[in-house]
Structure 1
Amino acid sequence: MSDAPGDALASRTGLPVGFRYLLDAFPRDRWTTTLDETAAFWLQMHAGFRGHQAHMEGLVGQWRADGDLTTLHRQLIPAVQSFLQHLDGHHRIESGQYFPMMRTIEPKIGPGLDLLDRDHDAIHETLDALFRGGLAFHQAVVGNAPDAADKAARLSDLIAHGARPLARHLEDEEDIIIPLIQLRGLHG
């Protein structure tokens, strides 16, 4: 199923109106109240991804300031590996376990969950590019290749390129999932 105009992750500026009815019933300003344990954990996981993105951007910023390719390699490669592993695992659990359960609890939100699944596909294309960029940078540094700085720049561009779509997805997913958990629970 293709995205409707304005629904594609790369161009979306917010959650489409048709998927906001749960958020309207349980808006973000009420999320400071006691949240269901699963909802709170979901937000904690998303905060971790935001923090990890910021950490990678900080490492790249430091490299751009000091030019220390060795330090960048030593710190960024493990950070990228951890980010890729955690985000991939998180999306697999969501798409494979939580989203199907949520479809039975709240069938009306099925198209919103489809949107989030399409986001996962788009993000995984970015993650694949990030993996390939990280590998190319690692191989260039280990092999003392003359283009190692170019590979670092390419990797840093990939990190920056993936930031906005990831942030958009995390926010939109929260706007569907947190109210759904709070209003409907996960047990039907």
Structure 2
Amino acid sequence: MLDTYNIREDAMPEDMRFLLSRYPRESWEDHPGFAEKTRHWLGAHQMFRRVASRIRVDTEEVLNRDLAVDEYAGRLSHFGGGLVSNLHGHHGWEDHSYFPELSAADPRFDAGLELLEQDHADLDRVLDDFTRSANRAIKLSGLDANQAREEAAQVLKASQTIEAFLQRHLTDEEELAVPIILHHRLRG
């Protein structure tokens, strides 16, 4: 489904990961510049990954008839609504606050920033499609369980796209931003 959205599937080019070899992921937590704010930002990314996975698993379960449609609808409303609103808020904050700070500290960030901002725009389209399918499945859950499951098949496609997209995008974002944060001792 990623091809439906023309979303970049390749990792960020090596030249945009200019500080990663100097600050590899496994060394981040031990670095003296690794501040609580960075830990929280990475924690939000982990939460997005977990919630996207939970939505996919729940949808697979309802399609396999291992989860009741009404229970699925409640879970989809809770987790799906939370994922969409929190991703929009998180990306808005990054675009208007966090990324400008990184850009000002290290202009080399700008090359990767263009990719990340395009990712945010592409993800908005995916989230809109997910929201439409999820809302239809939720509405149908109170009317016709079979039709709700049919719509859940569309939710599954969208949730798989979100999960794959987030895995690549968040990794790229982390591997571009955290080394800059550590190098310049930002967010302390």
State the Cα RMSD in Å: 1.9
Distance 1:10 1:106 in 2: 27
1:47 Cα deviation after fit: 0.7
Distance 2:67 2:145 in 1: 16
1:110 Cα deviation after fit: 0.6
Instruction: Find the counterpart in structure 2 of residue 93 from structure 1.
Output: 93
Q: In structure 2, give the amino acid aligned to 1:50.
A: R
Instruction: Find the counterpart in structure 2 of residue 41 from structure 1.
Output: 40
Determine if the alignment matches structure 1 residue 179 to structure 2 residue 162: no
Instruction: Find the counterpart in structure 2 of residue 5 from structure 1.
Output: none
Instruction: Find the counterpart in structure 1 of residue 20 from structure 2.
Output: 23
Q: In terms of mean alpha carbon deviation, does 82-91 or 149-158 score higher?
A: 149-158
Partner secondary structure for residue 30 of structure 2:
coil
Distance 1:67 1:44 in 2: 29
1:143 Cα deviation after fit: 3.6
CA contact (8 A) 1:39 1:182 kept: no
Residues 46, 67 of structure 1: alpha-carbon distance in 2 compared, 3 angstrom cutoff: closer
Distance 2:19 2:141 in 1: 49
Instruction: Find the counterpart in structure 2 of residue 128 from structure 1.
Output: 128
Instruction: Find the counterpart in structure 2 of residue 154 from structure 1.
Output: 154
Instruction: Find the counterpart in structure 1 of residue 61 from structure 2.
Output: 62
**Alignment gaps of 5+ in structure 2:** none
Aligned residues: 180
CA contact (8 A) 1:36 1:181 kept: no
Residues 50, 23 of structure 1: alpha-carbon distance in 2 compared, 3 angstrom cutoff: same
Q: In terms of mean alpha carbon deviation, does 122-131 or 64-73 score higher?
A: 64-73
CA deviations on 1:3-57 (whole Å, 9 max, x unpaired) are: xxxxx98343322111111112211121231422222111111111111112112
Partner secondary structure for residue 177 of structure 1:
helix
Give the TM-score of the pair, scaled to structure 1. 0.87
Percent identity, aligned pairs only, is 26
Partner secondary structure for residue 25 of structure 1:
coil
Give the TM-score of the pair, scaled to structure 2. 0.87
Determine if the alignment matches structure 1 residue 119 to structure 2 residue 151: no
1:164 Cα deviation after fit: 0.9
Distance 1:135 1:10 in 2: 24
Distance 1:134 1:173 in 2: 27
Distance 2:28 2:80 in 1: 30
CA deviations on 1:133-180 (whole Å, 9 max, x unpaired) are: 111112222343762221111112211122111110000000011111
Residues 145, 50 of structure 1: alpha-carbon distance in 2 compared, 3 angstrom cutoff: closer
Q: In structure 2, give the amino acid aligned to 1:74.
A: G
**Alignment gaps of 5+ in structure 1:** 1-7
